[in-house]
Structures are given as C-alpha cells and as structure tokens.
C-alpha cells in the first residue's frame, strides 16, 4: 500500500489527502503523476489529487476539479500495469482546457434539443454549446466546478456540489454527490446521489475516455472488441438529437449483441446513423432493465489483454469512439490525443429525454432522491 500523509488545510477548516513518502518528500503516483501539480487555491476552494488503491496493485487517481477520474492503472496480460484513461497531469489544464476527460457530467448528460425543455408548464432555456443544443449541462456544467471532498481514504472518495436554482438555466437547487469506490476485485463503482428543492431534470454520468492499450498516442479504438446488450438504439437527426424512435439493431452496424470488432461498422459509408455520428456516438437501449447485476457492455483490447465490463442501473449507454478528437489536445506526459484514440461508455438516460415523454423520465421532484450506480469492472483476457 502507498504511504499517505493527511495535510491540514487550515485556511478552510478541512483536511485533504495527498500522496507523500514517509520521509515527507513528494511521491509520484503509480501512473507517474505528481500530486503537487494538482494542489492550488481557486477563490475559497482548494484543489487536490486523491489516490485509491487495492492490494492487487490497481490505482485510481481522482481530482475534485469536475470530480474527474485522472488516471486508472489496470493490470495487463503481461503482468504489468497501464494507465488506461485520457486526461491531464496538472490542475491548470483541467481548469483551462475545454474537455470532458474523466469528468462527472451534470446537471444533464448528453444533449437537450435547442437548449430548451418544458416542465410542469414552465419552459426553461439552457446555454447552447453544440449545434444549437445544450450538451453536458452547457459550457459551465459540473465538469468545470470544484467539488467539496466529504470523505476520502485509500478505497473511496465522496465528492459533493450544490447546484444553485437556475444555474445554467436549470430549475431547483440540487444537492449532488458522487462516490468512487475501488474494490478488492478490481471494480470501480460510481454512485450518484441528488436531491432538489424544486422540480428539475437530472442525468449525471461519467465521461472517462478509455484507451485500453495504454497507448493514447495512437488511434486504437477501432481495434477493440465491443459487446452491448441492447436490441434497440435511439437514432438521431444530423445534429445528434433523437428522433423519438427506438430502432432495432438487427442487421445494422449497431448490432453488438455478440462481441465484434468496432472496425466492422464504424466507417460504414451508407448507414445514416454512422454518417451523422462520424462513427459511433449513439445511445443504446439496454436490455438489463436497470438490473445492476447484468452485464450491460464489455470492451476489450487484444494488445493489452485488458477487459472492461460495464454494469449499470441506468436505461441507456452512450458509446462514443472519440470521433471528434483531432490531435489538438496534449494530455498526460505531453502526448497528443489523435482521432479515435479512446472509447467512452457513458451510462445514462437517453439524450433529450425531457422533450420525449415516451422516454424514461429524468424528472426529479422535492422529497425524492435520485440514486444510481455504475460499475466499471477490470479484468484480463
């Protein structure tokens, strides 16, 4: 196990956990990150890096900036460990570079058409940041805020945020929390909780970009084998807003009910949903029906042998293959992230649900509590 030192943050009457050697010298994380590069003061809030470990040698680093996963060190088929998520190795990049790497997304993950929805007869206008729509809560969504750290030890961290009434146009003051827990059997559980004082909509998710090869300098997504337990998906228009239809995956590039290479369908030149998404960037309707014990999706890399299995109680999963990565962003260790260098597996409700009464509801009302769990389980072929 790593040696930890609790550093009192006297100015804020709190404590933050930071990695340090027993000699007091700064220690790099297993993924090679210097925790000092994450320590800063932003207004009256302190940023830091938090490290989760287990006895198998797995490590997950989290920052309270956007409640983001910064790195995941997972075991490969050769007995080594690889950092399998994209991100940055300093807090300044997370604060200044527009990205969703590893972020907690809210108040509403995915798109809301025309930045507008009606709830209980009231129409709400949201910021438009993607083809005239609101994406991931807008440009100042929860991925940009500094979360409060409520609990932190070597196996879990709980972070919270109070989203004010009408923040980014969303009604109701929402008390939100996300907890990351790393288990002894190499599972990373993400638990979301929220309560509101007025009717609102909520659809949190995590936006980690997984590069299971641990080789983010290369476009590897197409080489992965993917399985999604879904008979239908939600087709969209050319701006990626659902049409309202639940379309069958049968005999289409969207059929991943049996594991297959992503490359088999991602570049289909004639299939309209692939053309609109520039590849895979779609929501699948999961067959699990909210059963957290049923496998929802699985992706694996032959190069590393690493297998990522996804379990969730959410009704959908947005699979995004990094189609809009374009080699303009430099991440950890100065590596430039090229086109399709990672895959995202965002468990959530369907896009634009507030404007589709037939979709599962994302409405949260006073007196109710939103609770949801997603598990990312890591293993080796």
Residues 6+ apart with CB under 8 A from 162: 173, 174, 175, 176
Which residue is catalytic, options 136, 207, 349, 356? 207
Tell me the C-alpha distance between 2 and 182, whole Å.
15
DSSP string, 116-127: EEEETTEEEE--
Is residue 141 within 8 Å of residue 107, measured between CB atoms? Answer: yes
State the Cα torsion 311-314-315-316 to the nearest 10°.
-70
Give the C-alpha separation, 282 to 240, whole Å.
8
Q: What's 168-179 look like in SS3?
A: HHCCCCEEEEEE
Closest CA to 190 of 203, 207, 178: 178
**How far apart are alpha carbons 38 and 22 in whole angstroms?**
20
E strands in 131-219: 134-135, 148-152, 156-163, 174-182, 187-196, 200-201, 205-207
CB 168 within 8 A of CB 201: no
Give catalytic status of residue 346 as yes or no.
Answer: yes
* Of 94, 72, 67, 92, the residue nearest 83 (C-alpha): 72
Residue 348, Cα to own-chain centre: how many angstroms?
A: 10
Question: For 374, what's the count of Cα atoms within 13 Å in the CB-facing half-sphere?
Answer: 24
**Cβ-based neighbour number of residue 143 at 10 Å:** 24
* Beta-carbon contacts of residue 377 (< 8 Å; ≥ 6 apart): 185, 186, 187, 188, 308, 309, 310, 311
Q: Is 156 considered catalytic here?
A: no
> How many Å separate Cα 63 from the centre of its chain?
13
Q: Which of 59, 133, 167, 346 is catalytic?
A: 346
Task: Answer yes or no: are the C-beta atoms of 246 and 232 closer than 8 Å.
Answer: yes
Nearest to 99 by CA among 328, 253, 369, 268: 328
Q: Which residues are catalytic?
A: 207, 346
């Amino acid at each position: 196990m790593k040696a930890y030192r609790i550093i009192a943050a006297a100015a804020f009457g709190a404590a933050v956990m930071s990695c340090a050697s027993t000699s007091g010298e700064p220690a790099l994380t297993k993924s090679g990150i210097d925790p000092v590069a994450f320590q800063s003061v932003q207004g009256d809030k302190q940023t830091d890096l938090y490290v989760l470990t287990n006895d198998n040698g797995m490590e997950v680093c989290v920052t309270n900036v956007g409640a983001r996963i910064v790195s995941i060190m997972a075991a490969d088929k050769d007995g080594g460990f690889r950092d399998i998520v994209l991100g940055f190795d300093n807090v300044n990049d997370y604060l200044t570079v527009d990205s969703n790497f590893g972020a907690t997304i809210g108040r509403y993950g995915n798109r809301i058409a025309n930045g507008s929805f009606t709830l209980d007869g009231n129409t709400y206008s949201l910021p438009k940041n993607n083809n005239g729509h609101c994406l991931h809560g807008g440009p100042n969504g929860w991925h940009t805020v500094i979360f409060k750290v409520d609990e932190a030890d070597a196996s879990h961290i709980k972070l919270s945020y109070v989203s004010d009434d009408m923040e980014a146009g969303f009604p109701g003051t929402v008390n939100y929390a996300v907890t990351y827990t790393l288990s002894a059997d190499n599972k990373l559980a993400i638990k979301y909780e929220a309560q509101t004082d007025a009717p609102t909509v909520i659809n949190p998710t995590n936006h980690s970009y997984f590069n299971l090869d641990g080789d983010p300098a290369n476009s590897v997504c197409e080489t992965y084998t993917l399985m999604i337990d879904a008979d239908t998906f939600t087709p969209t228009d050319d701006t990626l807003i659902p049409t309202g239809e639940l379309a069958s995956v049968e005999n289409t590039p969207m059929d991943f009910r049996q594991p297959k290479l992503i490359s088999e369908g991602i570049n289909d030149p004639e299939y309209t949903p692939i053309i609109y998404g520039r590849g895979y960037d779609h929501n699948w309707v999961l067959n699990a029906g909210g059963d957290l014990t049923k496998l929802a999706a699985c992706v694996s890399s032959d190069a590393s042998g690493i297998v990522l299995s996804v379990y969730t109680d959410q009704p959908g999963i947005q699979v995004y293959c990094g189609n809009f990565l374009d080699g303009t962003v430099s991440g950890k260790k100065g590596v430039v992230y090229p086109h399709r260098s990672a895959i995202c597996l965002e468990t959530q409700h369907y896009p634009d649900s507030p404007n589709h009464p037939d979709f599962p509801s994302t409405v949260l009302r006073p007196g109710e509590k939103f609770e949801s769990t997603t598990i990312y389980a890591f293993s080796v072929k």
